[in-house]
């Protein structure tokens, strides 16, 4: 298969950036999107052009490092699939493909397709945890948790923190990401003690980082590679409202 790629190139955070066009030759349908970029990069190096930079690591859809907006859709638009899992067989021979970084004020470009997602870490540092120091835990079976509840918590916990939800949202809202963590811990008995504090602090940090608000377009759910449901956003909103009504502990 052959493709024409239009790729965002930006030398560093200070550079203005622009789209460049490259050809991808002899691409096997079994290749992943990133392997296709590897092949293009090898050719670029041979031509003494600095290769396209992009974040990636596990290449099996779990680490959340890979990103990319492909033809306008974060992770390329295949349901439940990260860019590294996306295979070239999902494209047609001869396609033109546009490749851009995740774009949001809170996720500035570092270089080419690499963006700085540390804002997400800071939201987590603001409260996305249970304050239990090592050694202080009761027996794992001390508190039974109904299977349905554990499953719900697991559904929300499956978030890989890639940031596609933000890139897909016209408000650059991080609600799906933040709500997944809030919802995961709010479902579990272990998360109850800090329930109100957590949601208040995480939402405050989210706002401080410059993420937008949710206006219920559900683009986030559509692109989430782990199929996190927007139900978690509704859950977070309820949690937040309840928390506001309670005095700060």
Partner 1 sequence: MKLESKIPTGPLTEKWDKHRFEMKLVNPANKRKYSVIVVGTGLAGASAAASLAELGYNVKAFCFQDSARRAHSIGAQGGINAAKNYQNDGDSVWRLFYDTIKGGDFRSREGNVYRLAQVSNSIIDQCVAQGVPFARDYGGTLDNRSFGGAQVSRTFYARGQTGQQLLLGAYTALNRQIGRGQVKMYPRTEMLDLVLIDGHAKGIVVRNLATGKIESHAADAVVLATGGYGRVFNLSTMGLGCNVTAAYRAYKRGALFANPCFTQIHPTCIPHTGEFQSKLTLMSESLRNDGRIWVPKKKGETRPPNQIPEDERDYYLERKYPSFGNLAPRDISSRSAKEVCDDGRGVGPTGYGVYLDFADAIKRLGKDIIEQRYSNLFEMYYLITNEDPYEVPMRIYPAAHYAMGGLWVDYNLMSNIPGLHIIGEANFSDHGANRLGASALMQGLADGYFILPYTINDYLARVGAGNISTDREEFRTAEKQVEERVEKLIAVNGKQTAESFHKRLGNLMWEYCGMTRNEAGLKKALELIPALREEFWNDVKVLGEAGDMNQTLERAGRVADFLEFAEIFAHDALNREESCGAHFREEYQTEDGEALRNDKKFAYVSAWEYKGVGQKPELHKEPLEFENVELATRSYK
Strands 3-9 and 96-100: parallel
1, 110, 222, 234: residue in contact with partner 1 (rule CB under 8 A): 110
The verdict on 130 binding partner 1 (CB under 8 A) reads: yes
CB of 216 to partner 1, least distance (A): 27
Give CA separation, 93 vs 44, 52, 89, 97, in Å: 21, 22, 9, 11
Does the footprint of partner 1 cover residue 125 (CB under 8 A)?
A: yes
By beta-carbon proximity to partner 1, the closer residue of 121 and 207 is 121
Site map 74..93 versus partner 1, x via CB under 8 A: ----x-xx---xxx-x----
Tell me which stretch binds partner 1 (CB under 8 A): 16-24, 119-127, 165-173, 216-224: 119-127
139 is a site residue for partner 1 (CB under 8 A): yes
Binding of partner 1 by 45 (CB under 8 A): yes
Residue 216, φ and ψ in degrees, nearest 5: 60, 45
Estimate to the nearest angstrom the gap between the alpha carbon of 238 and the chain centroid. Answer: 23
DSSP state of 85: T
The answer to whether 2 contacts partner 1 (rule: CB under 8 A) is no
Interface with partner 1, residue 245, by CB under 8 A: no
Residue window 158-197: x/- pattern of binding to partner 1, with contact defined by CB under 8 A: x-xx----------------------xx--x-xx------
Kindly give the interhelix angle for 118-125 and 195-208, rounded to the nearest 10 degrees.
150
User: Token pair for residue 36?
Assistant: 């296709």
DSSP state of 228: -
- Strand partners for 99: 7, 70
| 120 counts as binding partner 1 under rule CB under 8 A | yes
Minimum distance of partner 1 from residue 215's CB (angstroms): 27
Residue 68 contacts residue 74 (beta carbons within 8 Å): yes
Sheet holding 18-24, edge to edge: 18-24, 3-9, 96-100, 69-70, 73-74
Please state the closest distance from residue 14 (CB atom) to partner 1, in A.
11
153 binds partner 1 (CB under 8 A): yes
Residues in the chain: 249
Q: Which of 133, 170, 245, 248 binds partner 1 (CB under 8 A)?
A: 133
49 binds partner 1 (CB under 8 A): yes
């Amino acid at each position: 298969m052959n493709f024409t790629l239009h790729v965002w190139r930006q030398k560093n955070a200070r550079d203005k950036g622009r789209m460049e066009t490259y050809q991808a030759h002899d691409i096997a349908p079994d290749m992943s999107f990133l392997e296709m970029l590897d092949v293009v990069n090898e050719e670029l190096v041979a031509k003494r052009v600095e290769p396209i930079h992009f974040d990636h690591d596990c290449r099996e859809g779990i680490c959340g490092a890979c990103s990319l907006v492909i033809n306008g859709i974060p992770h390329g638009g295949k349901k439940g699939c990260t860019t590294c899992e996306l295979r070239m067989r999902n494209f047609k021979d001869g396609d033109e493909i546009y490749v851009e970084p995740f774009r949001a004020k809170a996720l500035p470009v570092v270089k080419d397709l690499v963006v700085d997602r540390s804002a997400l870490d800071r939201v987590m540092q603001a409260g996305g945890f249970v304050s239990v120091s090592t050694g202080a835990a009761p027996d794992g079976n001390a508190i039974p948790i109904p299977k349905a509840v554990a499953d719900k918590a697991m559904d929300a916990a499956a978030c890989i923190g890639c940031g596609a939800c933000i890139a897909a949202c016209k408000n650059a809202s991080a609600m799906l990401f933040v709500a997944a963590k809030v919802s995961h811990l709010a479902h579990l008995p272990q998360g109850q003690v800090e329930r109100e504090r957590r949601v208040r602090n995480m939402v405050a940090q989210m706002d401080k980082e410059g993420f937008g608000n949710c206006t219920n377009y559900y683009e986030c759910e559509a692109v989430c590679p782990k199929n996190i449901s927007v139900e978690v956003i509704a859950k977070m909103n309820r949690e937040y409202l309840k928390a506001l009504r309670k005095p700060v502990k």
